[in-house]
A and B are shown apart, each in its own frame.
Chain A
Amino acid sequence: MKARVHVMLKTGVLDPQGEAVRHALGAMGFDGVKGVRQGKVIELELADGTSEADVATMCEKLLANTVIESYTVEMV
Chain B
Amino acid sequence: MHAAVVVFPGSNCDRDLSVAFEAAGARVSMVWHKDTDLPEGVDIVGIPGGFSFGDYLRCGAIAANSPICKAVIAHADRGGYVMGVCNGFQVLTETGLLPGALLRNAGLKYICKTVGLRVETSNSAFTEGYNAGDVINIPIAHHDGNYFADDATIKLLQDKDRIAFTYTDNPNGAKADIAGILSENRRVMGMMPHPERAADAGHGGTDGQALFRALMGALTVA
CB of B95, distance to nearest CB on chain A (Å) = 11
B92 CB-CB contact with A under 8 Å? no
How many residues of chain B get a CB closer than 8 Å to chain A's CBs? 20
- Asked if A67 contacts B104 (CB within 8 A), the reply is no
CB within 8 Å for A14 and B103 given contacts A67-B149, A68-B148: yes
CA A28 to CA B144, docked complex, whole Å? 28
- Asked if B148 contacts A16 (CB within 8 A), the reply is no
From the candidates B65, B101, B146, name the one contacting A61 in the complex (CB within 8 A): B65
In the complex, which residues of chain B have a beta carbon less than 8 angstroms from the beta carbon of A62? Answer: 57, 61-62, 65
- Asked if A65 contacts B104 (CB within 8 A), the reply is no
CB of A67, distance to nearest CB on chain B (Å) = 5
Residue of B nearest to A61 (CB): B65
CA A63 to CA B58, docked complex, whole Å? 9
Chain A 22-76 residues near chain B, CB threshold 8 A: 61-63, 65, 67-68
From the candidates A16, A61, A67, name the one contacting B100 in the complex (CB within 8 A): A67
CB of A43, distance to nearest CB on chain B (Å) = 14
CB within 8 Å for A17 and B148 given contacts A65-B58, A68-B103: no
CB of B28, distance to nearest CB on chain A (Å) = 30
- Asked if B61 contacts A16 (CB within 8 A), the reply is no
In the complex, which residues of chain B have a beta carbon less than 8 angstroms from the beta carbon of A63? Answer: 57
CA A62 to CA B106, docked complex, whole Å? 24
B196 CB-CB contact with A under 8 Å? no
Chain B 45-79 residues near chain A, CB threshold 8 A: 57-58, 61-62, 65
B201 CB-CB contact with A under 8 Å? no
- Asked if A16 contacts B107 (CB within 8 A), the reply is yes
- Asked if A68 contacts B101 (CB within 8 A), the reply is yes
In the complex, which residues of chain B have a beta carbon less than 8 angstroms from the beta carbon of A17? Answer: 104, 108
CB of A38, distance to nearest CB on chain B (Å) = 10
Residue of A nearest to B172 (CB): A16
User: How does the 8 Å CB contact mask read for B72-108 relative to A, with 1 for contact and 0 for none?
Assistant: 0000000000000000000001100001110111111
CA A36 to CA B26, docked complex, whole Å? 49
In the complex, which residues of chain B have a beta carbon less than 8 angstroms from the beta carbon of A68? Answer: 101, 103, 148
24 contacts between A and B (CB under 8 A): A13-B103, A13-B148, A14-B106, A16-B104, A16-B105, A16-B106, A16-B107, A16-B173, A17-B104, A61-B65, A62-B57, A62-B65, A63-B57, A65-B58, A65-B61, A65-B94, A65-B101, A67-B93, A67-B99, A67-B100, A67-B101, A67-B148, A67-B149, A68-B101
